[in-house]
């Protein structure tokens, strides 16, 4: 996998997961991806190696990549010249180069506050912070 591929997939993931958030909210989601990458436990073994792209593409980890998710239809229409896309890309570039400051205190999970009920996994993890419309958690058992 190349750095360019990592940046492309991470940019798309950030755009689909956090494009409506303020810049700090996009950065927070980027930190979760980067924290998972650093742990080397959150990548698709089917795809073979730990990379930012494989962390993003691991099954059932980021809903935007789940088959049938509404983002399937939104991504092809993304304006790659928009401010939102450029911010997502900037944070992906920072992560790919190891320059991304961790503003979520090691969090490796998050969920959107728009969910009717918090996911069951949240009860087992340590709450770290809320930024924008996302709540961030760390799995301290791994």
Is the pTM here over 0.85, yes or no? yes
Comparing 76 with 23, the larger pLDDT belongs to: 23
pLDDT digits (tens, 9 = 90+) for 54-74: 888 777 676 665 676 555 555
Percentage of residues in the chain having pLDDT higher than 70: 79
Predicted pLDDT at 81: 80
Q: Between β-strands 109-112 and 126-131, what pairing exists: parallel, antiparallel or unpaired?
A: unpaired
**CA proximity to 114, closest of 80, 63, 72:** 63
Look at residue 113 and tell me whether its pLDDT is greater than 70: yes
- For every residue of the chain, DSSP letters joined together read --HHHHHHHHHHHHHHHHTTS-HHHHHHHHHHHHHHHHHT-SS-TTT-S--HHHHHHSTTTSGGGSTT-THHHHGGG--TTSHHHHHHHHHHHHHHTT-----STT--EEEETTSSS--GGGGGSEEEEEETTEEEEE-TT-
CB 137 within 8 A of CB 126: yes
Topology of the domain covering 3-104: Arc Repressor Mutant, subunit A (1.10.10)
Average pLDDT, the chain: 84
The domain limits of the chain are 3-104
- Residue 43: predicted pLDDT: 55
Whether the pLDDT of residue 130 is over 90: the answer is: yes
Residue predicted with more confidence, 61 or 112:
112
| Dihedral angle of Cα 55, 86, 8, 77, to the nearest 10 degrees | 100
């Amino acid at each position: 996998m190349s750095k360019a591929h990592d940046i492309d997939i991470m940019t798309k993931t950030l755009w689909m997961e956090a494009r409506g958030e303020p810049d700090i909210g996009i950065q927070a989601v980027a930190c979760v991806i980067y924290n998972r990458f650093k742990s080397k436990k959150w990548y698709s073994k089917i795809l073979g190696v730990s990379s930012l792209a494989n962390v993003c593409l691991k099954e059932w980890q980021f809903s935007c990549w789940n088959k049938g998710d509404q983002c399937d239809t939104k991504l092809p229409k993304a304006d790659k010249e928009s401010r939102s896309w450029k911010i997502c890309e900037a944070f992906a570039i920072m992560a790919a180069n190891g320059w991304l400051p961790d503003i979520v205190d090691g969090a490796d999970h998050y969920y959107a506050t728009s969910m009717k009920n918090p996911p069951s996994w949240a009860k087992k993890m340590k709450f770290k912070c809320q930024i924008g419309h996302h709540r961030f958690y760390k799995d301290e058992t791994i």
